[in-house]
């Protein structure tokens, strides 16, 4: 992608935090690349070369800086490039699409050729898909060396490397030091986690501001009893990872540009995927300044943008769980849907079994949400649901279990909505809601939603859809702003009022 190098250098000179993660600076004389906020002395202009991503700097032969730690960057916004296909590919890579597969397999999932995908990556990201995946693993491994007391073997497997030998080779190639030497340097600076702790603590950086209160309020109102809980100080939930059960807790840190996650897991393998799921859950890759500038230009949204700086779209730990929760929310209030979800996990969820017992504050967590296979085979008629809605959940579970419906980023928004609407009982509201929260589609927008229409004075669905054209490509963020405003003035409702798929 094209970069305004003069603007980048001015941001580098002032160490402007607003540009952190938007570009990286390679220093020709040292062979090191840095974040714009690096505390080191600013190099002369002629010694600097600028890259749109850490992967591009790595592929150009530059090493990560040990002072500003590129692995601690809030990340490059998903819309930094102009290609929706690249954004979807980046989400799949973040979910581990290249951990056990190759670039042709990734391209096939996206429905394009490998050469075309590589050309798009070089144009928009500055690096190939494989380089992006390798840099992701490498920087996460460095993060674990700095922030935890995991063994070298655990760090290697937790970061997605297939062997300790490959991990050691990658670290030496990138840092010109061994993993043990990097960890010793951190210990001398007073960093690193405490040994013997049952939990793993990780910092999840974001680009400020972040409205934690709005996030916790939204998630708390929709928390599935026994599976998750949210309060002003913390969000907790049960998870299924590494062949067992675990519990995660996320808290805001006052005045700090990161959330603190504590994970009690059955093992460390796949920890990189847990961290990415939490980033998606709290939408930590968002660029709040860009979103606010765009949505704030509309006089109908401007007061809400000012009142809610740092708005995020609450995501989901698991796409299937969110999809079932969305179906339960059709034509009923948020509270009623939450009660139905609690009844579902009470009868069909897996009893929680956590190695080392439940952490403090998680006493109310008792179940892990059922798998698609379990719900596809379950009798859901005793939950108090209309038979048609129970059949919809069964049908969705069967299609997800068989792979017919993919709740990931392999399809674009329109194709995803079309595939979901082919499930009997799923209409446009449900499909857009799932795409918005589970699949991280920033432009998804359930235009028939009663709460959205009410927040704008009771406009029709058609009028709302027409208004929302000006809010692209961040209509999902506009929806959150309007839902929050509506919840403050009336009972929050999310309802599929105009699909006609579940009438009565």
Catalytic residue among 34, 48, 65, 274: 34
pLDDT attached to residue 275: 96
Query: Over the stretch 32-88, which tens digit does the pLDDT of each residue have?
Result: 999 999 999 999 999 999 999 999 999 999 999 999 999 999 887 644 445 788 989
The pair phi, psi for residue 33, each rounded to 5°, is -115, 150
Tokens at 334, concatenated: 């948020």
Q: Quick one: the chain helix, strand, coil %, rounded to 5?
A: 45, 10, 40
The pair phi, psi for residue 377, each rounded to 5°, is -100, 0
Is position 65 annotated as part of the catalytic site? no
238 forms beta bridges with 247
The string of DSSP letters for 134-177 reads: HHHHHHHHHHHHHH----HHHHHHHTT-S-HHHHHHHHHHHHSS
Using CA of residue 84, residue 86, residue 89, residue 95, what is the dihedral sign? Answer: negative
Which strand (E) or helix (H) includes residue 25?
strand 24-27
Tokens at 257, concatenated: 């540009």
Nearest alpha-carbon partner for 136 in 51, 205, 75:
75
Is position 34 annotated as part of the catalytic site? yes
Distance between CA atoms of residues 239 and 236, nearest Å:
10
Nearest alpha-carbon partner for 183 in 168, 197, 173:
168
Q: Which residues of the chain have pLDDT under 70?
A: 1-2, 77-82, 186-198, 486-504
pLDDT attached to residue 488: 56
Catalytic residue among 20, 318, 443, 449: 449
Tokens at 380, concatenated: 């859901």
CA 68 from chain centre, in angstroms, equals 24
* Global confidence as pTM: 0.90
Cβ atoms 360, 397 nearer than 8 A: no
pLDDT attached to residue 298: 96
Distance between CA atoms of residues 363 and 367, nearest Å:
11
Distance between CA atoms of residues 174 and 66, nearest Å:
11
Cβ atoms 62, 23 nearer than 8 A: no
């Amino acid at each position: 992608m094209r970069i305004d190098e003069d603007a980048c250098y001015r941001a580098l000179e002032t160490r402007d935090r607003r540009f952190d993660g938007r570009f990286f600076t390679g220093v020709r004389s040292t062979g090191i690349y840095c974040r714009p906020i690096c505390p080191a002395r600013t190099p002369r202009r002629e010694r600097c070369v600028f890259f749109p991503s850490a992967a591009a700097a790595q592929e150009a032969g530059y090493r990560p800086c040990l002072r500003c730690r590129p692995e601690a960057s809030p990340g490059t916004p998903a819309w930094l490039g102009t290609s929706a296909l690249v954004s979807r590919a980046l989400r799949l890579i973040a979910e581990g699409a290249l951990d056990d597969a190759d670039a042709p397999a990734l391209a096939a999932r996206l429905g394009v050729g490998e050469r075309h995908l590589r050309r798009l990556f070089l144009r928009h990201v500055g690096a190939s898909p494989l380089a992006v995946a390798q840099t992701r693993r490498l920087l996460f491994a460095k993060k674990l060396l700095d922030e935890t007391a995991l063994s070298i073997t655990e760090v290697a497997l937790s970061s997605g490397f297939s062997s300790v030998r490959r991990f050691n080779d990658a670290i030496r190639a990138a840092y010109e030091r061994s993993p043990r030497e990097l960890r010793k340097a951190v210990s001398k600076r007073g960093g690193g986690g405490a040994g013997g702790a049952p939990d793993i603590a990780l910092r999840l950086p974001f680009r400020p501001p972040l409205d934690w209160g709005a996030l916790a309020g939204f998630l708390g109102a929709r928390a599935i009893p026994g599976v998750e809980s949210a309060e002003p100080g913390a969000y907790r939930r049960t998870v299924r990872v590494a062949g067992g059960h675990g519990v995660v807790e996320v808290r805001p840190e006052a005045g700090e540009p990161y959330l603190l996650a504590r994970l009690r897991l059955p093992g460390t393998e796949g920890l990189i995927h847990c961290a990415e799921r939490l980033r998606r859950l709290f939408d930590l890759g968002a660029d709040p300044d860009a979103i606010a500038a765009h949505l704030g230009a509309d006089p109908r949204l401007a007061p809400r943008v000012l009142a809610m700086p740092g708005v995020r779209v609450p995501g989901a730990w698991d796409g299937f769980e969110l999809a079932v929760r969305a179906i339960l929310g059709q034509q009923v209030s948020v509270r009623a849907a939450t009660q139905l979800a609690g009844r579902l996990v009470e009868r069909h969820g897996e009893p929680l079994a956590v190695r080392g017992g439940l952490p403090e504050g998680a006493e109310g967590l008792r179940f892990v949400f059922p798998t698609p296979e379990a719900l596809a085979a379950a009798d859901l008629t005793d939950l108090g649901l209309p038979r048609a809605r129970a059949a919809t959940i069964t049908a969705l579970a069967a299609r997800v279990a068989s792979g017919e419906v993919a709740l990931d980023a392999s399809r674009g928004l329109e194709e995803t909505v079309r595939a979901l609407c082919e499930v009997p009982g799923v209409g446009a509201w449900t499909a857009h809601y799932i795409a918005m929260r589970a699949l991280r589609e920033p432009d998804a927008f359930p235009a028939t939603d009663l709460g959205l229409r009410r927040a704008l004075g009771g406009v029709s669905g058609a009028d709302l859809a027409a208004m929302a054209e000006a809010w692209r490509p961040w209509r999902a963020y506009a929806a959150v702003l309007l839902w929050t405003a509506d919840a403050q003035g009336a009972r929050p409702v999310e309802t599929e009022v105009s699909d006609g798929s579940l009438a009565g």
